[in-house]
Structure 1
């Protein structure tokens, strides 16, 4: 189990946790730990924000840019590439086969560029806004819960999606089931309780499950399956959605205590 968990971290991040001999079949058995992988990634964003704040940086744009870049870098830009491929498939007219072929090619079309540009730009400015309008401690907690729940959305998509015929994503879609999703949901809620932000945690966790289900449903209908690129796109879109939702709903939470 330890070796397979190491394999999951190595595949999903650039974190050097040693070598793993596990194959994708073995790694996929523990896909329910994806929310905690998101938690692990978030700690690097927290560290970046803490260092910059300690050095006296007070610009939300600088902090937001640095935090987002750190998160994307630690995950190896895997999900960013998936978001670009997913965006290209949206803009292609034709059957499912043609859309899947576009996702597999090495080029980025206008659809992929627009998806990456606006999703990440909204995420950047949202991080900047939260930094400037929240206490610093609360801002750090937001980074953690958002990355945790974005991987819960990815897990939900894998659980509800139809496996593709090829690609590494098929192993995770085949192995993921309701037990994995429930376990991942418990992990996410546990993180929010430890952070002492249960209301935000419950909101983002439930939203992550339904967002992942929705993207899987759309892809099942349009593409006939879900792929690794779609999982990556789900994580990136989820982060953006959670940031916007937190900005929108935090004032109401403060009113009800």
Structure 2
């Protein structure tokens, strides 16, 4: 038993095999949390390594085949396939770096802004395959990192466009002191058993909701981390007609006289065929 300078007891564990002394043992709860964090890091490293190895392995096979049989190789076709693998690698690495950065939001990076203005501006910049119908309330002020909120919106819109049948609806509202950004699609929805799993890194589900085709598989995981870093939440539920409804909730800044605006405004040429 050892005693620190303050007089409190510090329990140590002896390493009988080596005769050395290990680091002090903390409270059971802290030990369990530390072990869980270590297990998460190991699993994440293993998953990330797997995701990175897949395009690397494909690229290696392509190049080795070309080297062994140059006379049978179409150079243009080879370079095109190789670039696809490189693009996937870049996407995974970029998203891994983003995931590492967003887990702690710095106060000096935050700004006060109207969430509806940001959403409306970003939607109009996009060229989507299906129309996006906007229902935005002006004056919904949040204090956040604008680029990170744009990243959440982009992930949700990309996901909705991938799974929608006729169109997508985006809403911004204020609900009991929280700003809400809602993205709704009229696709197949998300099975109840998968509604948390799709926010995990590299998770694959039957509907592939967690993986944009050709993407890194980290879009929704990053979006959830951004929400948590801003003291908010990101969840998904089923709509009355069976589609998916993703809701980002953020603490709203002091009310500045918001009012409904932009109702029924289309970012595309036609509204969704089955509005909710």
Superposition TM-score tier, normalisation by shorter sequence: under 0.3
Which has the larger strand fraction?
A: 2
Q: Which has the higher contact order (CA 8 A, sep 6+)?
A: 1
Which structure would you say has the larger Rg? 2
The TM-score with structure 1 as length reference comes to 0.27
Which has the larger helix fraction?
A: 1
